[in-house]
Structure 1
Amino acid sequence: MFPSSRYYLPPHILILLIGLGQVIGCTEQAPTDSPAQVVILAAASTKDALQEMANAAVAASDVPLTIEISTGPSHALAQQILSGAPADIYVSANRQWAEQIADAGLSAKSIEWLGNALVLVVPKESQLRIERLDDLNLPAVQRIGIAGANVPAGIYAEEALKYHHLWENLTGSDKLIRGHDVRSTLAYVQRGEVDAAIVYSTDAMLTDEVRVIERFDPASHEAIVYPLVRIRSRNTNPAADHLFEFLKSDEARKIAENYGFVSLSNIDGVSK
């Protein structure tokens, strides 16, 4: 090995290198006008309404803003957050998964944001005589779509069918076809792959390819509540804080109501 004295740098060379490093460091800094980014993970049923809200928020922002929205089953999105997936805002279609986020210490703020209703739909051109819930027991009705067992829409549907004493017969006759989430369940009935399906009223409003047969009594299932959660993060994100507040605004509520959602209380929940 060379003696350590061979690595000695004269003071004027050392000063030159330090100055060069400072110049390089300055040139590598991110541009100050780069867009602020916010990531939303949300229940599939909120996709269209949330996209319109995001567009409105971007248009109203004083700074460049990018909002990334990923939708899917509430329970799967919650598991992603619990596993460390990056997210700033989470929208669940029931209280259960939002509570798990809070119990894990990942919820900075949470409100009960929107409400919804459950409906029975059939393909628009269906020739089957399905006029009420009890008609699901008819032999001619072979396939009934509902969302997955852990998906809020599937949980609500199961509760409603049990309330109306239909669950045991429908499961015993293997009529129930599970969808990945409520939107895939809606797609089944749109394509005529099932004879009927149970979806949210907001989903049924999005298409003219289905007919609503019956609206479930709210007493037949747990209240359909969409918590809005600001995810706790080690890094501050003022854009996410502003978006969270925007989603509670009158403008956002009007958009939600245009899609058939019911606006709930806007009182902030206690941080956990």
Structure 2
Amino acid sequence: MTRSARRTRRTTRTLQVAGAGAAALLALSACSSSDGASGSSDTTKSSASSPPKLSGTVTVFAAASLKESFTALGRQFEKAHPGTEVTFSFGGSDTLAASITGGAPADVFAAASPKTMAIVTGKGDAATTPATFVRNQLEIATLPGNPHKVASLKDLTKSGLKVVLCDRTVPCGAAAQKALDASKLKLTPVSYEQDVKSALTKVELKEADAAVVYKTDVKAAGDKVEGVEFPESADAVNDYPIALLKDAPNSAAAKAFIELVQSPEGRRTLTEAGFLKPTS
């Protein structure tokens, strides 16, 4: 074999080795590119599955009897979602409903009866179907020590006893009237109040001897009043519905607040306040 032929053969082998090396490098590069694309895809998927961070103010219109428990839930919500703030407007459900249908900006409405919630849904101002989250039962609130020995609903009709009721347009007043009608009792109060807290305050300030309010309000008042249960209250239990409002300024955070109210944690806070669980 000539010297020229040997050089040609060595050159050919060198080119073959170089070609094989280049092919291997290309394969490795392709694998690396594929792995990087896969990692990028996984990161994108992970980012897409993460819930958006909540922020801003959630405005909740709620029945006066929810004041203590909803205030506690508001603090829990703000702690779980830094950057959010929950503001409340508590009052008679009928007044709150009228404000909402009148254009007052709010995210959530929690009413003390389906009837008052219907004021809002009837005007098309609810974005979701109202859901009952708790129930509440009436109780008689008397002065501490119950000096007038009130033991029944009938005792409220005693001559000279100053009794306060919620207005009949308010859920607690409608429930009280239902209980009185069922017992065939007639009662003329010294005043009708626009929400349950106002009725209770009359007793706390000793401006009235007794008031028909909710069990939750008697419990929240502590030793400022004394509670007296009466069997007729079982026939006048109020369902409390909650709904997201149609023009909610902060619907994402509002939905999360409603979820908290309906969660086991929220239910625990409400039952500890004296509310009853919904029937379904």
**TM-score with structure 2 length normalisation?**
0.75
- The Cα shift of 1:127 comes to 2.6
Q: Distance in 2 between matches of 1:265 and 1:242?
A: 23
2:54/2:252 contact within 8 Å kept: no
Aligned equivalents of 2:229, 2:92: Cα separation in 1: 24
Gaps (5+ residues) in structure 2?
1-52
Kindly provide the amino acid, as one letter, of the partner of residue 243 in structure 1: F
Q: CA deviation at 1:184?
A: 0.7
* CA apart distance, 1:206: 1.1
SS of 1:84 mapped into structure 2? coil
CA distance in 2 between counterparts of 1:210 and 1:234 reads: 38
- For 1:190-244, what per-residue CA distance to the aligned partner results, in whole angstroms no more than 9, with x for missing partners? 11111111000000001212112223434532x3011011101276631112212
What CA distance in whole angstroms lies between the structure 2 residues aligned with 1:188 and 1:264?
30
The residue number in structure 1 matching 2:85 is 66
Partner in structure 2 of residue 178 of structure 1? 192
Q: Distance in 1 between the 2:249 and 2:75 partners?
A: 25
- Give the secondary structure class of the aligned counterpart of 2:88: strand
1:76-115 map, 5 Å: 76-109=95-128, 110-115=130-135
Amino acid at match of 1:209: K
Alignment-derived partner of residue 235 in structure 2: 220
- Residue 153 (structure 2) aligns with: 133
Give me the CA root mean square deviation.
2.0
What displacement does 1:74 show? Answer: 0.2
Q: Secondary structure at the match of 2:127?
A: strand
Shift of 1:178: 1.0
CA distance in 1 between partners of 2:151 and 2:104 (Å): 45
Q: Structure 2 vs 1, CA of residues 104 and 160 (structure 1 numbering), >3 Å: closer, same or farther?
A: same
Q: Secondary structure at the match of 1:263?
A: coil
Pick one of 155, 162, 165 that aligns with 2:181.
Answer: 162
- Partner residue of 2:219 out of 191, 205, 228: 205
Give 1:37's aligned residue: 57
How many residue pairs get aligned? The number is 226
Moved more, 131-140 or 104-113: 131-140
Assess if the C-alpha contact under 8 Å between 2:107 and 2:248 holds in 1.
no
Residues 1:243 and 1:137: Cα distance change in structure 2 (over 3 Å): closer
Q: Which amino acid aligns with 2:154?
A: D
**C-alpha displacement at 1:126, in angstroms?**
4.3
Bigger Rg, structure 1 or 2:
2
From the superposition, tell whether residues 257 and 181 of structure 1 become closer, same or farther in structure 2 (CA, over 3 Å): same
CA distance in 2 between partners of 1:195 and 1:235 (Å): 44
Task: Report the alpha carbon displacement of residue 36 of structure 1 after superposing the two structures with TM.
Answer: 1.2
Gaps in structure 1 of 5+ consecutive residues: 1-32, 267-272
Which residues of 2 match residues 177-196 of structure 1 at below 5 A? 177-196=191-210
Match of 1:120 in 2: 140
Task: State the identity %.
Answer: 27
Q: Of Structure 1 and Structure 2, which has the larger fraction of its residues in strand?
A: 1
Q: Secondary structure at the match of 1:56?
A: helix
